[in-house]
Homo-oligomer: A and B are copies of this chain.
């Protein structure tokens, strides 16, 4: 589900490869959390997370999660917020190669990285949790406010609004645009630039500059019970089930 490519300069690429849309099911989430966690000890000096051309990740795999019991869901959310925290706290720089659409969970992965390169064009990114009946946690608000400021973060989250790449760049939700097939390369070049710098000075300055994000993603701030309770309640269940029914009638399998 994850293809690992080790590039020059000890840059490791983790390419999401769960057809058709890189939906984040419990297996992919756990595998990604593990791969991010292991990379530094295995010699990686920088990380790159990419998707397939046109689709970074469709976010949480709603049909799979709707079929799970409470205990399995709790483990899944634990891995998901654990992944976000691990990206935020990574001792090595992490770039997101947002190779296409990136709603909800896909946007969360990109959010906690150091740098986001997104595919130019009609691809959309955003935190549409509210649209599907879910509450966007404070953890996401804090990280998004670091990028956009408090008011813009409030507006995007409360409205659950998705934006296209150009607007994402203008807002500061992503840092750079590239043609869709150049996105992983551009992200890699950015990481190479960082790795060409005096290493200790770069890493320490990075740690100081991200200390607020590290503090905000400590385990006590993971919204585990809250997110599980929101997921189980009537508003979320009915909205999510209607969404799945619509997807299935659009794409009868």
A-side interface residues toward B, CB under 8 Å?
Answer: 93, 114-115, 129-138, 141, 146-155, 157-160, 172, 175, 193-194, 197-202, 204-206, 208-212, 230, 233, 235-236, 239
* 19 A-B pairs (CB sep. < 8 Å): A129-B205, A130-B197, A130-B205, A132-B198, A134-B201, A135-B204, A137-B208, A138-B211, A141-B208, A141-B209, A148-B149, A157-B209, A160-B197, A160-B201, A198-B235, A199-B235, A200-B233, A200-B235, A201-B230
A210's contact among B115, B136, B154, B236, by CB below 8 Å, is which?
B154
A129's contact among B114, B149, B151, B201, by CB below 8 Å, is which?
B201
A193 to B239, CA, bound (A): 17
Question: Please, which residues of chain B bring their CB within 8 A of the CB of A209?
Answer: 136, 141, 150, 153-154, 157-158
Q: Add 11 more A-B contacts to A134-B201, A147-B151 (CB < 8 A).
A: A114-B154, A115-B155, A132-B198, A135-B200, A135-B201, A135-B208, A150-B212, A155-B175, A157-B205, A198-B236, A200-B230
The answer on a CB contact under 8 Å between A158 and B194 is: yes
Nearest CB on B from A153, distance (A): 7
Q: Which of A152, A201, A210 has the most CB of B within 10 A?
A: A201
- With A197-B131, A198-B133, A236-B201 already in contact, the answer to whether A208 and B138 are too (CB < 8 A) is yes
Residue of B nearest to A239 (CB): B198
The answer on a CB contact under 8 Å between B131 and A198 is: yes
Nearest CB on B from A184, distance (A): 20
The answer on a CB contact under 8 Å between B201 and A235 is: yes
Residue of B nearest to A93 (CB): B158
Question: Please, which residues of chain B bring their CB within 8 A of the CB of A206?
Answer: 154, 158
The answer on a CB contact under 8 Å between B134 and A193 is: no
- With A147-B151, A151-B147, A160-B197 already in contact, the answer to whether A135 and B172 are too (CB < 8 A) is no
Residue of B nearest to A190 (CB): B159
A117 to B208, CA, bound (A): 28
Question: Please, which residues of chain B bring their CB within 8 A of the CB of A146?
Answer: 149-151
Question: Please, which residues of chain B bring their CB within 8 A of the CB of A198?
Answer: 130-133, 235-236, 239
Nearest CB on B from A242, distance (A): 11
Nearest CB on B from A228, distance (A): 14
Residue of B nearest to A204 (CB): B135
A205's contact among B152, B158, B204, B236, by CB below 8 Å, is which?
B158
A210 to B202, CA, bound (A): 29
Residue of B nearest to A234 (CB): B200
